[in-house]
Structure 1
Amino acid sequence: MNNVTTLVPKREKTILIFGISSFVGSNLAEFFKKDYRVVGTYNKNPVFIPGVLSLPCDVLNKEEVQLCLYALKPDITIYAIGLSSLMDCSRNEDLADALNASGLFNVVEYCQRYKSQVCYISSGFVFGGEDKNYIEMDIPDPNTTYGKTQASAEFYIQKSSLNYLVFRTCKLYGRGFLESRTTQFEKLQNSFMNRKNVNCDDKVKTGYLDIYYLAMVLKITFEKNVKNRLFQISSNDTATFYEFSKYYCETFSESESLIQKGRWGYPILATAATIPTGEKINFKLDISNIEGFLNIKLPSVKESLEFTFKKLHGVSKASGGRSAGSGDGVTFI
């Protein structure tokens, strides 16, 4: 009797994104929908992304969070909710704590119950801005409300979850999916399009990466089934927004004459243990760990912008860029 082998199609994994209307959440959904079943939640700002199911959910309501995870039983849950503006977090500390930390506590609890890996997107602002290379093992010493809430979330997820990933990132840039929310990158592009002067901060130095680099790194870690790790992701160099804007002009053939050097507000906590005293506030993340672990090479700020230019090639600046590029042909591995 002949043996007959029945091929069972591989089950498509489900990714649940809390905060799909956010800049990070919407771009991750657009990227992952090609290879995963993607479902996202929103609170007050519904967003339409073809091929992605969006559901209303208040992340601060434990019953709604439980219902989402029980009904969908996602393999991976990405927490992309948060108040990311340094000034907005300083002005409304309670809201910052609720969105950046408390909401995550609810998600982690039910991810444990329904056996979903939880992925948290943090940032280099958990550190104090000293002139050094920060490694993953350095103890967070935030001096802003934004950094304080993210450090709290990092600590909680590592102590409470049995299956997590934390990605501590540099500044992420790109175009969003909500007309009512304009990203810093879009504001920069709109200023050049309308021939308006751009006031650019020259105090805070951080890495800059196109949001799709984060998506590509996440995809590799998901495919490798990596668990219980904290990784830092950044360009391999740093720049102020003024320097980033100059790189942008060089890459996108815009006039540097519209760029004006300035200094934006940096709201330091009154209780901060670390207060930068130098000319610059530095957030240099050491990325040797993730480059070695995944065998990848992350780009410089200028190389990231060159990737962005290729990704948006052929897209009119006047269109607003509400559809993200595929990123095909980019080799950073």
Structure 2
Amino acid sequence: MKIVVTGVSGLLGSNLAWYFREKADVVGLFNVHAVTIPGVEVLGFDLQDHSRTHQVMARLEPDVLVHCAARTDIDGQEKDREGAQRSNVLTTDALLESLREASTKVVFISTDSVYSGSRGPYGEEDATDPRNWYGHTKLEAERLVAARPGSLILRTNIFGWNIQDKLSLGEWFLANLRAGNTVTGFTDAICSTLYTFSFAEILDLCLSRNISGLYNLATRDAWSKYRFGQELARIFRLDPGCVHAGSLDDVPFTAQRGKDLSLDVGKLEQALGGHSMPTSMESLQAFHRDDQAGLPLKIKQQGKGGGVS
């Protein structure tokens, strides 16, 4: 099986390529930030170049396309709506057009930001009402993908190990707590954030069963970011007292954020024959196990061509 992953230099794209590289023939696509992942062919070009996108897809003939590439800077997109539209919607359209005659299964990575966040947990049939432009663009791209038979759309919220010098939610808490810094966790920002490698395992199950449609893929419960930081501190044997309670209302973000973006994962659990999604605690414990095994160092050093085995 050949899997093409767009956004391979991003958090989820790189972690999916890392996970699937021993299970399939994996090709990763990036635009600006070149990375190296052992066992993965990596190609760099702009997905907004429709001609090049057509050429690459015709040559690769993927069995599965996992479309992770997107702009995720929520505040920046409020100031650059045209750029966000190009990155999140027009590239999706170009990819779909390039595969119009192909039998490729398209997996689109969406977001919990398509919901308003006024009350969770949200099921797939609940009304969408994005509070920011990022959510609007992802919802528009969802609708394009949904028109393709057999496609799979996954709404999610993730944390994991960045291949670049960036920090996901878990990495940010961990780096600051290890440095002895005090940090703020929002008590009113609630989500079902899932560890990327747990996400990969569930996506693997979805592909093996050829599941299609729209699903929430997340933890089966939800925590505030404050609780997430506190529990992370305890699991890593750091000081939870360094995580202070705060509110989204205290920060003058450019873009609005939904407060309760928790997700109901019952539909996907049923589609997978009763397979339970991880809890928030199980997700954090997997994050801790991989840290103890040295995975983040391997990802970052090999991503830069360091060659740790």
Aligned to 2:37: 49
Q: Pick which of 125-134 and 82-91 moved more.
A: 82-91
In 2, the alpha carbon distance for the partners of 1:91 and 1:199 equals: 26
What is the rounded CA distance, in whole Å, between the counterparts of 1:41 and 1:248 in structure 2?
32
- Give yes or no for the alignment of 1:176 onto 2:154: no
Confirm whether residue 289 of structure 1 aligns to residue 273 of structure 2: no
1:155-186, CA deviations, whole angstroms, 9 ceiling, x for partnerless residues? 12112x123110011x200111123x333322
Is the Cα contact below 8 Å between 1:20 and 1:26 reproduced in 2? yes
Q: 1:314 to 1:217 in 2, by over 3 A?
A: closer
Secondary structure of the 1:122 match is strand
Mapped contact 1:116–1:163 kept (Cα < 8 A): no
Q: CA deviation at 1:249?
A: 1.0
1: distance between equivalents of 2:160 and 2:136? Answer: 25
Q: What is the letter of the counterpart of residue 196 of structure 1?
A: N
Residue matched to 1:6 = none
The alpha-carbon deviation at position 23 of structure 1 amounts to 0.7
- Which is richer in helix? 2
Q: What does residue 150 of structure 2 align with? A: 163
Alignment-derived partner of residue 83 in structure 2: 95
Provide the C-alpha distance between the structure 2 equivalents of 1:203 and 1:63, rounded to a whole number of angstroms: 45
Q: Match for residue 222 of structure 1? A: 207
For 1:11-35, what per-residue CA distance to the aligned partner results, in whole angstroms no more than 9, with x for missing partners? xx10011111111100000000111
TM (norm. structure 1) is: 0.84
Q: What is the deviation of 1:312? A: 2.1
CA contact (8 A) 2:75 2:255 kept: no
Write out per-residue CA displacement over residues 104-151 of structure 1, whole angstroms, 9 at most, x where no aligned residue.
Answer: 110111122232111100011101112233111223111111111111
Structure 2 matches for 1:172-321, cutoff 5 A? 172-179=158-165, 181-227=166-212, 229-264=213-248, 265=251, 266-268=253-255, 281-295=259-273, 296-315=275-294, 319=297
Aligned-residue offset at 1:40: 0.9
Residue 69 of structure 1 contacts residue 114 of structure 1 at CA under 8 Å; is this kept in 2?
A: no
Q: TM-score, normalised by structure 2?
A: 0.90
Cα separation, partners in 2 of 1:190 and 1:321, compared to 1, 3 Å: farther
- The 1-side partners of 2:160 and 2:215 are apart by 21
2:126 alignment partner in structure 1: 138
CA–CA separation in structure 2 for the residues paired with 1:288 and 1:70: 37
What are the ranges of 5 or more consecutive residues in structure 2 without an aligned counterpart? 303-309
Aligned residues: 298
Larger radius of gyration: 1
1: CA distance between counterparts of 2:230 and 2:298?
21
Counterpart amino acid of residue 180 in structure 2: R
Structure 1 residue 323: deviation in Å?
Answer: 6.9
Q: CA deviation at 1:268?
A: 5.0
1:314 deviation in Å?
A: 3.9
Q: Which moved more, 1:199-208 or 1:121-130?
A: 199-208
Q: 1:118 to 1:210 in 2, by over 3 A?
A: same
Q: Which amino acid aligns with 2:6?
A: F
Deviation digits for residues 210-258 of structure 1 (CA, Å, limit 9, x no counterpart): 001211111111111223x111111111122111100101111110122
Tell me if structure 1 keeps the 8 A contact 2:89–2:141. yes
Closer/same/farther in 2, CA of residues 196 and 320 from structure 1, 3 Å limit: farther
SS in 2 for 1:30: helix
Where 2:124 maps in the other structure, the secondary structure is coil
Out of 181-190 and 71-80, give the one that drifted further: 181-190
Identical positions, percent: 22
**Equivalent pair of 1:112/1:162 in contact (CA under 8 Å):** no
8 Å Cα contact 2:78/2:133 also seen in 1: yes
Q: Would the alpha carbon gap of residues 54 and 321 (structure 1) be closer, same or farther in structure 2, given more than 3 Å must change? A: closer
Partner of 1:71: 59
- Change in Cα spacing, 1:56 to 1:316, as seen in structure 2 (3 Å) is closer
Unaligned 5+ runs, structure 1: 1-12, 270-274, 325-333
SS at match of 2:262: strand
SS of 1:131 mapped into structure 2: coil
Alignment-mate amino acid for residue 250 of structure 1 = R
Asked whether the equivalents of residues 77 and 111 of structure 1 are also in contact (C-alpha less than 8 Å), the reply is: no
Contact preservation (8 Å) 1:100, 1:149: yes
> How much does 1:320 deviate?
8.4
Aligned residue in 2 for 1:329: none
